[in-house]
A = this chain, B = another copy of it.
C-alpha cells in the first residue's frame, strides 16, 4: 500500500496539461521530505482537513531549522531568544500559508501544541485569515508529574480548530459528537489518556517517536470535522497516527515526513490498521442534513386531517389545520406552522414541529413525533 514517494502533481507541468488533466493527489501516501516543499507540490484547494502536530521545542535547540533550511543554534542567553521566536514564527507562517492554500474553501485545520508554541501558532493563524472555531483542551488523564514541585503539573495540551475563512461552511458533525458524549453537547475540554501501553509504538525496545499522539484524540478530531471519503493532510506525520485513524474511519490521508525511521514505522502501522465496515461507520445524522418533511405532506398523506385542532404544550394557544397544511388562528394572519406559532407568542421565530401538539386519546404529543413516525414509514 503506502509508498513514500515524491508526488508529481501534474499542475507542476505545463499549463495546458494542468487544464486537461486535473492534478492527481497522492492519496494514502507518505511524502518523504520537508513539509513545506512537499506541500508546494500539491494543488490548491484540494484538501478537506489538515491536522498538524508541529515541533513544540523552541528553547531546547537542535531540531529547529529556519525556512531557508539553515540551522538554528541552541539558545542560552536573552539576546538570542528573540531571534529564536522570530525564526519559529517565520517557519510557522510559511507552513501555515501553504496549508491555507491547499485547503478547500470550506476546509478546516487543526493544530496541536503546548504553551511553548501554541500562542504563536494561534496568532499567526488569525493573521493569515483563518477563523478560529474552538480551542480544545486535551486534558491528560495521566500526565507526567512536575517532579521538582516548581509549577502546576502541566496536564494538558491545546488544539486549535480553525476554518479557512470567517464565512466558510465548515464541517461539524454535531450529532455524532453529542452521541459520543452520552447525549450532551461535546465540550471544548476532552479528557483522554496519553498514548501508552500496547498503543505506544516501539523500535528496539525504545519508543519509536517521542511525541506519539493517542489514536483516541485523532478519532474524535476526524469524526467531528470530516466526512467519510474526505482527504486529510498531516504535514508532520511522524509515526502516522493520523493515517492509521483515517484508514479506520474511511478517510483518505496524505502525510509529510522527513525521517525515514518514522516513515517505516508508520507504513507498517497503517498497513495493519483495519477499516471499519460500512454499518459501523454510520454516525448519527443531524436533522439539518436529514431528509425534510413538509407539514403539508403529513396532511396530504392523511396523517393529519384538515380541521384538526393543534395546541401549545400548556394548552393555552390553539390553531386549526387547513387543507394546504397552513394553520388558521383567531386574530392573526394564517400561515405556516412556524409563522403562526411565532406570531401567537409574539416571538421572532418558532419551530412549529416542537411547538404544536396533537391531542390523541387524552395524550398530548408534539407533531414532531408524527413526523418521526412518518419518516420511518416512508424510509426504505
Q: Which A residues fall within an 8 A CB radius of B? A: 65, 69, 78, 81-82, 85, 114-116, 118-123, 125-127, 129, 132-137, 139, 141-143, 145-146, 149-156, 158, 160-161, 165-166, 172-189, 191-193, 199, 214-216, 219-220, 223-224, 249, 276-277, 279-284, 286, 291-292, 294-297, 299-302, 305-307, 320-326, 328, 333-336, 338-339, 345, 347-350, 372, 376-380
Q: A137-B156, A180-B324, A284-B326 are in contact. List 10 more A-B contacts (CB 8 A).
A: A118-B119, A119-B121, A142-B380, A143-B187, A150-B174, A152-B187, A156-B189, A191-B291, A280-B323, A284-B335
- Please state if A123 and B127 are interface contacts (CB–CB under 8 Å): no
Contact B322 A115 (CB under 8 A): no
Check A179–B283 contact: CB distance below 8 A.
no
Interface pair B188/A156, CB less than 8 Å apart: yes
Contact assessment for B333 and A376 in the assembled complex, using a CB-CB cutoff below 8 Å: yes
A291 to B185, CA, bound (A): 16
Which residues of the partner chain B approach A158 to less than 8 Å between Cβ atoms?
135, 158
Question: Given known contacts A126-B119, A126-B120, A307-B276, is B153 in contact with A301 (CB within 8 Å)?
Answer: no
Return chain B residues, CB-CB under 8 Å to A141. 377-380
- Give A327's nearest chain B residue, CB to CB: B179
* 15 interchain pairs, CB-CB under 8 A: A114-B135, A115-B134, A118-B119, A119-B122, A119-B123, A133-B151, A149-B178, A154-B188, A155-B189, A156-B188, A276-B306, A279-B322, A281-B322, A282-B334, A284-B335
Tell me how many chains of this kind the complex includes.
Answer: 2
> CB-CB < 8 A to A120: which residues of B?
119, 122-123, 126
Nearest Cβ distance between residue A326 and chain B, in whole angstroms? 5
**CB-defined contacts of A182 to chain B, threshold 8 Å:** 292, 294-296, 325, 336
* Bound Cα distance A224, B306 (Å): 16
Q: Is the CB of B279 within 8 A of A85?
A: no
Q: Which residue of B lies closest to A217 (CB)?
A: B300
Q: Is the CB of B281 within 8 A of A306?
A: yes
Whether the pair B180, A283 counts as a contact (CB closer than 8 A) is: no
A170 CB, nearest partner CB in chain B, Å? 9
- In the complex, residue of chain B having the shortest beta-carbon distance to the beta carbon of A321: B280
Bound-complex Cα distance A180 to B336 (A): 8
Contact assessment for B136 and A139 in the assembled complex, using a CB-CB cutoff below 8 Å: no
Instruction: Using CB atoms, name the residue of chain B closest to A375.
Output: B333
Q: Give, as a whole number of angstroms, the nearest-CB distance from A332 to chain B.
A: 8
B284 and A324 contact, CB distance less than 8 A: yes
- Shortest CB-to-CB span from A235 to chain B, Å, is 20
Would you give the shortest CB distance from A338 to chain B, in whole angstroms? 8
Residues of B within 8 A of A65 (CB): 348-349
Is A137's CB under 8 angstroms from B134's CB? no
Which residue of chain B is the closest to A89 with respect to CB atoms?
A: B123
A301 engages B378 (CB within 8 Å): no
Considering the chains assembled together, what is the distance between the CA atoms of A211 and B249 in angstroms? 41
Compute how far the CA of A295 lies from the CA of B183 in the bound complex, rounded to whole angstroms. 10
Contact A280 B307 (CB under 8 A): yes
C-alpha gap A180/B304 in the complex (Å): 13
